[in-house]
Structure 1
Amino acid sequence: MSKRIIFATGNEGKMKEVRMILADLGYEILSLKDIGYDKEIIEDGKTFEENALIKARTIANERNEIVLADDSGLEVDYMDKQPGIYSARFLGEDTSYRIKNQYIIDQLKDAKLEERTARFVCAIACAFPDGKTLTTRGTIEGYIGYEERGENGFGYDPIFMVPEFNCTTSELDLEQKNKISHRGKALEAMKKLISA
């Protein structure tokens, strides 16, 4: 078995987190950029798990290697759990996160603190060359802040407040963030399954 795992993303911020968390697995972790994969995969699942499995299976079938994929998003309770599985495509694929974040803040302008609850959800899927698949899920609970804060994160991180640290996930250093984040929890669970 090759000691490589393909992680189905081209997002460099995500790859940095993934490589840190999976460093002790003993596999080389490659991104889609690393393997020159640029085909569009249509994620038409109804859950985070379904979308992650679509990505992992598609690439595993073509490459005959172990593939990990994630599907993650932000659920804002005040907005009926939006943007949810549409987090990346929310308000349009090419809309910047600065605009998306401001839109969410504006939607919550009349919300009291206890109504601003939200969570990040991450499903990780693993597809093996023999067709076997595994999925894990991680979540982190918090609330939506009143403005963007912090430089360390990406996506919705600058508006997601973590109550126990009283800061956004963008204000945590990467090591701290990986310990408590939805992706960190889901990857740790997957790591246990892969190395079992």
Structure 2
Amino acid sequence: MYQIILATHNMGKVREFEAMTGDQSSAFPIQWLTLRDFPHITELIENGETFRDNAMMKAEQVARATGIPAMADDSGLVVDALNGAPGVYSARYAGESKDSQRNNEKLLHELTNVPPEKRTARFVCVLALALPDGQKFFSEGVCQGVIAAEPKGEGGFGYDPLFYLPAYDKTFAELPAEIKNKISHRASAMEKMFFLLRVLLFPEPEPMYRPNL
């Protein structure tokens, strides 16, 4: 049984991850742990300039502290009309308190008078896998959408109530979890990471499908 630590305390992310990997994880023996299993690990440093920097910083810190392979994600919202903001500062856009309601309120304020056709945005997720021997691996997923004029829906977390998908005529927070977990940026990144894990841990037989890494 292989162990991999998900380097997060965010149980919203953990639930999404478990839902996305539930069917696939039965294909090979991996025990998923989280930072809740390692209370001695304090707040992780993530002061990089890119999603990739932050994801790997977190994964490497946990792998070094435990001697166990660690996977971390850094994800956020990129809004075209705001020149890519909030980007890597998505969780603390309105301050260090990481208050989702305040973040959403600030985002709407910054987009005041911006017309719908210019409110294009995308969620980005970078997953980093750090092994205790120093090897590093990445995968990335993107989901395109539009910032709504007001929050809608009770599901999800973070910016989900404002992230509108025209193809579904719903925000992320309005979508059923089973749909969101198939089309989200995190789902796309996870699909690619699962391919890497299969190659690394279980090289035979080689998967029939090779995602675009």
Q: Distance in 2 between matches of 1:99 and 1:127?
A: 33
Q: Distance in 2 between matches of 1:165 and 1:60?
A: 39
The equivalent residue for 1:154 is: 157
Q: Counterpart of 2:70 in 1: which secondary structure? A: strand
Deviations 1:63-84 (A, max 9, x none): 1111100000001111111100
Contact map agreement 2:91 2:103 (CA 8 A) in 1 = no
Q: Distance in 2 between matches of 1:96 and 1:70?
A: 19
Deviations 1:97-146 (A, max 9, x none): 11211221122121111100001000000011221110011010101001
How many residue pairs match? The answer is 195
Q: Distance in 2 between matches of 1:95 and 1:54?
A: 19
Measured after TM superposition, the shift of residue 34 of structure 1 is 2.5
The equivalent residue for 2:203 is: none
Bigger radius of gyration: 2
Q: CA RMSD in A?
A: 1.2
The equivalent residue for 1:7 is: 6
Q: Distance in 2 between matches of 1:137 and 1:49?
A: 9
The equivalent residue for 2:127 is: 124
Alignment match of 1:59 (pick from 62, 83, 107): 62
Q: Counterpart of 2:149 in 1: which secondary structure? A: coil
Residues 166-175 or 87-96, more deviating: 87-96
Q: Counterpart of 1:29 in 2: which secondary structure? A: strand
* Larger RCO of the pair (alpha carbons < 8 Å, separation 6+): 1
The equivalent residue for 2:38 is: 35
The equivalent residue for 1:194 is: 197
Gap runs ≥5 in structure 1:
none
The equivalent residue for 2:15 is: 16
Q: Distance in 2 between matches of 1:57 and 1:99?
A: 31
Alignment match of 2:51 (pick from 28, 48, 52): 48
Query: Identity of counterpart residues, as a percentage?
Result: 42
- TM-score normalized by structure 2? 0.88
Give the letter for the 1:9 counterpart: T
- TM-score normalized by structure 1? 0.95
Alpha-carbon distance change, 132 to 138 in structure 1, aligned in 2, over 3 angstroms:
same
The equivalent residue for 1:144 is: 147
Gap runs ≥5 in structure 2:
200-213
